[in-house]
């Protein structure tokens, strides 16, 4: 029986330099927290600001919660256009992440196989369009000609494979010991089976991480939606959000705004906050994979 | 093993190609014998309110009466986004049949042959032409002698005014200022003499924010009444005698000195350089300043005035005459005729849709179309008062009122039928009693008062050439540096800066602008 080497932890007394360093790190992180938290808090408090509020933005950030008004949220949630746009964004998110992963994973896996004939050229085939983007008009023509224009998939199919994400995933797959794949092949597994039964179960971290990257980009995708979607019933949240943020008609034309009596600034802040909620809510569940995934993807071998 | 690799690649390719048709639902045009399909990309009246619902009664009426299957697409709210969408569609020769477009994009589409002339349509739409189009609007879309777009009336002209807090003046025993010197005194008193009597030093004389456009260059619209006192309102002087950039006139320096004095003495709200429109409007409702230039509805419409009324039941703004400058000049600012241009694609004409489009537009101008698109369905979205004016009273469901959150969706096309006629204005700006102070208010009365003040005609000045981005930056940065004290404002420095401005392209911009204005008969006597 082998003797196991035992390690004991030794408490090292921190020096004054350690204390100073830790203080500086804490200070830096504290400042960073403030830089992130203050605008967020400002947006949240602005979204709860009542119509009859008197004071500047700074004072508004310290408005006590019992003086808050939920009129902006009530107006948004009671607005059919908002709910329709939210629904469309969810469809784009689900369809986008599913199709992106469905296409990125096999491509990354194929590119990670060192013995693949023509691998070099295939890699070039993937990287060249990444470096030399064809631009908006040819893409628009392609989307139109294949009949995707004015459909929700037009927002995510043309960008379903991100070369950057694919390369990260390829690096991750290359890091999986080849012996595992070889033994599976010896047992008679096909490449598809190896991918599904060996590679994917070992790749949860990178799949969740890349999935999050894709999810955030599809959720926030304004430009493609603006360009490719014509039907009013297909407009997603970023378009509505832009319309709300750009709205000037609320002040200058109508007697009652599209969102009732809620203050305009509160409506704008509430719509920004609500559109961020799904991503913010998803992040804690993905965080453990995210940290691991980004690190693993960065180290080869 | 190689075979398996190829199978794997083939599967990926197959998956990619197979998935596309699954998602695709490309739209097809109507059948040959069915209604004519017309794609309309329109600018929404209230961008955030959402489009007309799929079961909007207008679709059925248009199909039944005109045999037109109308397909609506709301253009993005931002103009540059609109341009991108239209230009991408143009590049794919996929422009809609009828679409709203800005003039400079229209010019590009004309040169590419993608839009059709509309000169022959005016006489085919007699009702619409009588109310919507005139010589000025036709010239607005004229290129190479042909009119390539239908320029509908845009926003109401001269709908802003110089407002002053009458209650503050009364508290301080002052009268409404009429000259630039008196204005300075009032602004000082508003800033330093506690005009609201709350014991705090929390008020300023003048309030503004930076709002610039082609014809109201920096410092922009909100300070035009000050520039107007020196005869340098607007980007361009549009008179035959002095045509050119106002910044090149010697009086511009005097206006700058005056503005700098306002800044140095702290009698203009110091946040004016940081305010956005919403901040500015929140600020006057919070009683932060006592003089401003504001739009009639943004000031006096019920929902806009309500916070001020609640905060200051005894507060009172009055529309004042523009301030007279040292040489007797006075102006609220320049005004131009705003248009919303609708163009017809060449593709639509090739497909034989031009007549149908004219039919649709003419129907929109009929009583039926006008009321339906402007206010909705009578009894559901509006009722008529004793004078025949659409009102939002007495409806079974107030949410469906044309001014209500839901009702606004069915009037999103109203900009295609409105022409700023009396009925629209009465309906748009009804009289009301304020909730707290119980005084009668009318944004229409305010509008009429504002329009009666002295303005400077500058029709077409929004079509003149614009400076390059670098020159614009130099212009705006230079002026702001003079006003904020980063550059010393004196004659020598000013002349040096103007010389530099001319050298960088300012003279060329001026010359091109004057030439354009002369060619298009835009100059006034």
In a domain, B10, yes or no: no
What's the confidence (pLDDT) of residue B333?
97
A10 pLDDT band, cuts 50/70/90, is low
Report the domain count for chain B: 2
The per-residue pLDDT for range A53-72, each reduced to its tens digit, is 766 677 778 888 888 888 88
For residues B424 and B460, membership in a common domain is answered with no
CA distances from B276 to A69, B116, B341 (A): 23, 39, 28
**Contact with chain B for residue A226, Cβ under 8 A:** yes
Which of B460, B456, B464 is closest to B522 using CA atoms? B460
Instruction: Note the ipTM here.
Output: 0.73
**Cβ distance of A152 and B286 shorter than 8 Å:** no
Contacts of A11 (CB under 8 A, 6+ apart): none
- In whole angstroms, give the CA distance from residue B28 to residue A174: 47
Q: A26 exposed, middle or buried (CB, 10 Å; 0-12, 13-18, 19+)? A: exposed
**Cβ distance of A227 and B4 shorter than 8 Å:** no
What's the confidence (pLDDT) of residue B2?
54
The per-residue pLDDT for range B258-316, each reduced to its tens digit, is 999 999 999 999 999 999 888 899 899 999 999 999 999 899 988 789 889 999 999 99
**Cβ distance of B20 and A249 shorter than 8 Å:** no
Query: What SS3 state is found at A26?
Result: helix
**Cβ distance of B306 and A115 shorter than 8 Å:** no
What's the confidence (pLDDT) of residue B31?
46
**Cβ distance of B301 and A227 shorter than 8 Å:** no
What's the confidence (pLDDT) of residue B444?
93
B369 pLDDT band, cuts 50/70/90, is very high
Tell me the average pLDDT across A266-290.
83
Q: Which residues pair with B216 in a beta bridge?
A: B213
Return the higher-pLDDT residue of B269 and A191: B269
**Cβ distance of A102 and B23 shorter than 8 Å:** no
- In whole angstroms, give the CA distance from residue B376 to residue B5: 63
**Contact with chain B for residue A144, Cβ under 8 A:** yes
Residue of B nearest to A258 (CA): B405
The secondary structure of A229-281, three-state, reads CCCHHHCCHHHHHHHHHHCCHHHHCCCCECCECCCHHHHHHHHHHHHHHHHHH
Query: What SS3 state is found at B237?
Result: strand
For residues B147 and B216, membership in a common domain is answered with no
Distance of residue A225 Cα from the nearest chain B Cα, in angstroms: 10
What's the confidence (pLDDT) of residue A295?
59
What share of chain A has pLDDT > 70, as a percent?
A: 86
In a domain, B443, yes or no: no
If one counts every other C-beta atom within 10 angstroms of the C-beta of residue A166, the result is 21
- In whole angstroms, give the CA distance from residue B512 to residue B523: 14
The per-residue pLDDT for range B458-474, each reduced to its tens digit, is 988 988 999 999 999 99
Q: Is the pLDDT of residue B257 over 50?
A: yes
What's the confidence (pLDDT) of residue A249?
46
In a domain, B386, yes or no: yes
- In whole angstroms, give the CA distance from residue A110 to residue A125: 13
What phi, psi does A180 have (nearest 5°)?
A: -60, -45
What's the confidence (pLDDT) of residue A301?
44
For residues B173 and B238, membership in a common domain is answered with yes
**Cβ distance of B277 and A251 shorter than 8 Å:** yes
For residues B139 and B265, membership in a common domain is answered with no
For residues B135 and B71, membership in a common domain is answered with yes
Tell me the average pLDDT across B353-377.
96
B194 pLDDT band, cuts 50/70/90, is very high
For residues B79 and B179, membership in a common domain is answered with no
**Contact with chain A for residue B409, Cβ under 8 A:** yes
Question: For position B377, which CATH number holds?
Answer: 3.40.190.10
Neighboring chain A residues of B50 at a CB cutoff of 8 Å? 79-81, 84, 232, 240, 258
Return the higher-pLDDT residue of B249 and A130: B249
The per-residue pLDDT for range B419-449, each reduced to its tens digit, is 988 898 888 888 899 999 999 999 999 999 9
Q: Does residue B72 contact residue B52 with C-beta atoms inside 8 Å? A: yes
What phi, psi does B189 have (nearest 5°)?
A: -65, -40
**Omega of the bond leading into B219 within 30 degrees of 0 (cis):** yes
Q: Is the pLDDT of residue A286 over 50?
A: yes
Helices and strands per DSSP (H, E), number in chain B: 22, 19
Q: Does residue B16 contact residue A103 with C-beta atoms inside 8 Å? A: yes
Domains of chain A: 18-69 (no CATH), 80-247+279-298 (1.10.3720.10)
For residues B198 and B311, membership in a common domain is answered with yes
What's the confidence (pLDDT) of residue A254?
44
**Token reading at B34:** 């069915």
In a domain, B172, yes or no: yes
Helix, strand, coil distribution of chain A in percent, nearest 5: 70, 0, 25
The per-residue pLDDT for range A69-82, each reduced to its tens digit, is 888 888 888 777 78
For residues B323 and B411, membership in a common domain is answered with no
Query: What SS3 state is found at A172?
Result: helix
**Token reading at B70:** 């109308």
**Token reading at B84:** 């991108």
What's the confidence (pLDDT) of residue A101?
95
**Cβ distance of A81 and B409 shorter than 8 Å:** yes
What's the confidence (pLDDT) of residue A78?
77
Among A169-173, A205-209, B26-30, B430-434, name the one with the lowest average pLDDT.
B26-30
Which domain does B110 fall in, by range? 34-156+338-428
- Looking at every residue in chain A, the average pLDDT score rounds to 84
**Contact with chain B for residue A115, Cβ under 8 A:** yes
Q: Is the pLDDT of residue B27 over 50?
A: no
Q: Is the pLDDT of residue B32 over 70?
A: no
- In whole angstroms, give the CA distance from residue A241 to residue A229: 15
The per-residue pLDDT for range B35-45, each reduced to its tens digit, is 999 999 999 88
Which of B4, B491, B79 is closest to B252 using CA atoms? B491
- Which residue matches tokens 């017309």? B38
For B286-389, where are the alpha helices, taking DSSP H only? 296-300, 302-311, 346-350, 354-365, 367-375
Q: A140 exposed, middle or buried (CB, 10 Å; 0-12, 13-18, 19+)? A: buried
If one counts every other C-beta atom within 10 angstroms of the C-beta of residue A264, the result is 23
A115-120: long-range pairs with CB below 8 Å, 24+ = A115/B1, A116/B5, A117/B2, A117/B5
What's the confidence (pLDDT) of residue B23?
46
In a domain, B134, yes or no: yes
In a domain, B262, yes or no: yes
- In whole angstroms, give the CA distance from residue B185 to residue B180: 9
B30 pLDDT band, cuts 50/70/90, is very low
Which of B193, B187, B189 is closest to B259 using CA atoms? B187
How does strand B36-42 pair with strand B68-74?
Answer: parallel
B14 pLDDT band, cuts 50/70/90, is very low
For residues B348 and B473, membership in a common domain is answered with no
What's the confidence (pLDDT) of residue B9?
55
- Looking at every residue in chain B, the average pLDDT score rounds to 90
**pTM for the predicted model, two decimal places:** 0.74
Among A5-9, A167-171, A242-246, B418-422, name the one with the lowest average pLDDT.
A5-9
Mutate to test the interface with A, among B6, B48, B305, B310 (most CBs of A within 10 A): B48
Q: Which residues pair with B295 in a beta bridge?
A: B160
How does strand B440-441 pair with strand B432-433?
Answer: antiparallel
Query: What SS3 state is found at B476?
Result: helix
Task: Determine the angle formed by the axes of helices B57-66 and B354-365, rounding to 10 degrees.
Answer: 120
Return the higher-pLDDT residue of B23 and B312: B312
A278 pLDDT band, cuts 50/70/90, is confident
**Token reading at B393:** 């009273």
A294 pLDDT band, cuts 50/70/90, is low
The per-residue pLDDT for range B296-308, each reduced to its tens digit, is 989 998 878 988 9
Q: What angle do CA A51, A53, A59 make, to 5 degrees?
A: 140
For residues B103 and B65, membership in a common domain is answered with yes
Residue of A nearest to B286 (CA): A54
Which of B360, B340, B365, B339 is closest to B348 using CA atoms? B360
Neighboring chain A residues of B78 at a CB cutoff of 8 Å? 242, 246
Which of B473, B471, B469, B470 is closest to B481 using CA atoms? B473
Most confident among A58-62, A226-230, B149-153, B316-320 (mean pLDDT):
B316-320
Residues 472-501 of B with CB under 8 A from A: none
Distance of residue A205 Cα from the nearest chain B Cα, in angstroms: 23
For residues B317 and B246, membership in a common domain is answered with yes
What's the confidence (pLDDT) of residue A296?
57
In a domain, B6, yes or no: no
B490 pLDDT band, cuts 50/70/90, is very high
The per-residue pLDDT for range B54-100, each reduced to its tens digit, is 899 999 999 999 999 999 998 988 888 899 999 999 998 889 999 99
Tell me the average pLDDT across B203-226.
95
The per-residue pLDDT for range A90-122, each reduced to its tens digit, is 999 999 999 999 999 999 999 998 888 888 898
In a domain, B288, yes or no: yes
What share of chain B has pLDDT > 70, as a percent?
A: 94
For residues B320 and B202, membership in a common domain is answered with yes
Neighboring chain B residues of A269 at a CB cutoff of 8 Å? none
Tell me the average pLDDT across B384-410.
86
**Contact with chain B for residue A134, Cβ under 8 A:** no
**Cβ distance of A81 and B49 shorter than 8 Å:** yes
**Kind plus residue range of the DSSP H or E element containing B99:** strand B98-101
- Which residue matches tokens 């599904």? A196
What's the confidence (pLDDT) of residue A255?
44
Q: Is the pLDDT of residue B413 over 80?
A: yes
Neighboring chain A residues of B310 at a CB cutoff of 8 Å? 52
What's the confidence (pLDDT) of residue B46?
79
């Amino acid at each position: 029986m082998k003797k196991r080497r035992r390690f004991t932890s030794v408490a090292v007394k921190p020096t004054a330099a350690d204390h100073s360093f830790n203080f500086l790190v804490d200070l830096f992180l504290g400042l960073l927290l403030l830089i992130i938290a203050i605008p967020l808090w400002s947006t949240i408090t602005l979204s709860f600001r009542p119509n009859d509020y008197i004071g500047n933005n700074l004072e508004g950030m310290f408005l006590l919660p019992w003086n808050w008004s939920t009129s902006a949220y009530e107006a948004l949630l009671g607005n059919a256009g908002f709910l329709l746009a939210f629904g469309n964004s969810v469809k784009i998110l689900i369809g986008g992440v599913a199709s992106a992963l469905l296409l990125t994973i096999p491509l990354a896996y194929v590119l990670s196989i060192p013995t693949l004939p023509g691998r070099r050229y295939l890699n070039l085939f993937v990287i060249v369009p990444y470096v030399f983007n064809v631009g908006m008009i040819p893409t628009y023509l392609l989307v139109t000609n294949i009949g995707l224009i004015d459909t929700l998939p037009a927002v995510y199919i043309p960008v379903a494979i991100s070369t950057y994400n694919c390369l990260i995933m390829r690096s991750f797959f290359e890091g999986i010991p080849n012996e595992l794949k070889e033994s599976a092949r010896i047992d008679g597994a096909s490449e598809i089976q190896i991918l599904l039964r060996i590679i994917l179960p070992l790749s949860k971290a990178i799949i969740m991480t890349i999935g999050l990257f894709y999810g955030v980009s599809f959720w926030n995708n304004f430009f493609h939606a603006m360009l490719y979607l014509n039907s009013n019933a297909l407009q997603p949240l970023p378009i509505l959000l832009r319309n709300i943020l750009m709205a000037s008609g609320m002040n200058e034309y109508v007697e009652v705004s599209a969102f009732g009596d809620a203050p305009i600034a509160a409506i704008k802040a509430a719509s920004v906050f609500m559109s961020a909620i799904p991503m913010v809510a998803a992040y804690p569940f993905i965080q453990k994979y995210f940290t691991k995934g980004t690190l693993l993807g960065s180290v080869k071998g | 093993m190689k075979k398996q690799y190829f199978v794997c690649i083939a599967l990926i390719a197959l998956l990619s190609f197979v998935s596309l048709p699954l998602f695709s639902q490309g739209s097809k045009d109507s059948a040959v014998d069915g209604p004519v399909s017309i794609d309309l990309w329109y600018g929404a009246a209230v961008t955030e309110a959402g489009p007309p619902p799929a079961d909007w009664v207008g679709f059925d009426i248009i199909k039944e009466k005109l045999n037109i299957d109308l397909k609506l697409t709301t253009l993005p709210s931002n103009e540059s986004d609109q341009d991108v969408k239209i230009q991408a569609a143009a590049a794919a020769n996929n422009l809609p049949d009828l679409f709203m477009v800005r003039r400079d994009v229209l010019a590009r589409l004309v040169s590419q042959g993608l839009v059709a002339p509309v000169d022959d349509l005016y006489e085919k739409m007699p009702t619409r032409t009588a109310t919507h189009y005139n010589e000025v609007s036709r010239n607005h879309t004229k290129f190479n002698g042909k009119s390539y777009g239908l320029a509908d009336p845009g926003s109401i002209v001269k709908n802003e005014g110089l407002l002053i807090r009458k209650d503050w003046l009364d508290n301080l025993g002052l009268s409404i200022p009429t000259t630039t010197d008196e204005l300075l005194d009032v602004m000082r008193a508003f800033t330093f003499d506690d005009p609201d009597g709350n014991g705090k030093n929390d008020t300023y004389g003048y309030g503004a924010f930076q709002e610039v456009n082609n014809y109201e260059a920096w410092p922009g619209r909100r300070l035009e009444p000050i520039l107007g006192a020196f005869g340098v309102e607007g980007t361009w002087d549009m008179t035959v005698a002095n045509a050119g950039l106002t910044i090149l006139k010697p009086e511009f320096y005097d206006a700058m000195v005056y503005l700098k004095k306002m800044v140095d003495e702290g009698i203009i709200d110091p946040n004016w350089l940081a305010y956005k429109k919403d901040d500015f409007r929140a600020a006057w409702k919070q009683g932060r300043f006592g003089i401003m230039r504001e739009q009639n509805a943004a000031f006096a419409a019920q929902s806009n005035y309500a916070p001020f009324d609640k905060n200051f039941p005894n507060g009172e703004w009055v529309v004042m005459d523009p301030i007279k400058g040292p040489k007797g000049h006075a102006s609220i600012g320049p005004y131009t005729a705003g248009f919303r241009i609708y163009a017809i694609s060449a593709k639509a004409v090739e497909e034989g849709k031009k007549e149908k489009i004219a039919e649709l537009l003419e129907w929109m101008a009929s009583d039926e179309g006008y009321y339906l698109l402007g206010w909705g369905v009578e009894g559901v979205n509006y009722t008529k008062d004793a004078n025949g004016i659409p009102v939002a009273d007495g409806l079974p469901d107030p949410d469906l009122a044309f001014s209500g959150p839901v009702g606004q969706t069915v009037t999103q096309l109203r900009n295609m039928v409105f022409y700023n006629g009396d009925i629209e204005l009465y309906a748009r700006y009804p009289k009301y009693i304020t909730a707290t102070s119980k005084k009668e208010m009318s944004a229409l009365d305010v509008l009429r008062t504002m329009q009666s003040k002295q303005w400077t005609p500058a029709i077409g000045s929004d079509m003149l050439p614009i400076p390059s981005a670098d020159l614009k930056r130099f212009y705006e940065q230079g002026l702001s540096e003079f006003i904020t004290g980063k550059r010393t404002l004196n004659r020598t420095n000013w002349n040096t800066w103007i010389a530099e401005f001319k050298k960088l392209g300012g003279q060329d911009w001026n010359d091109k602008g004057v030439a354009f204005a002369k060619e298009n008969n835009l100059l006034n006597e």
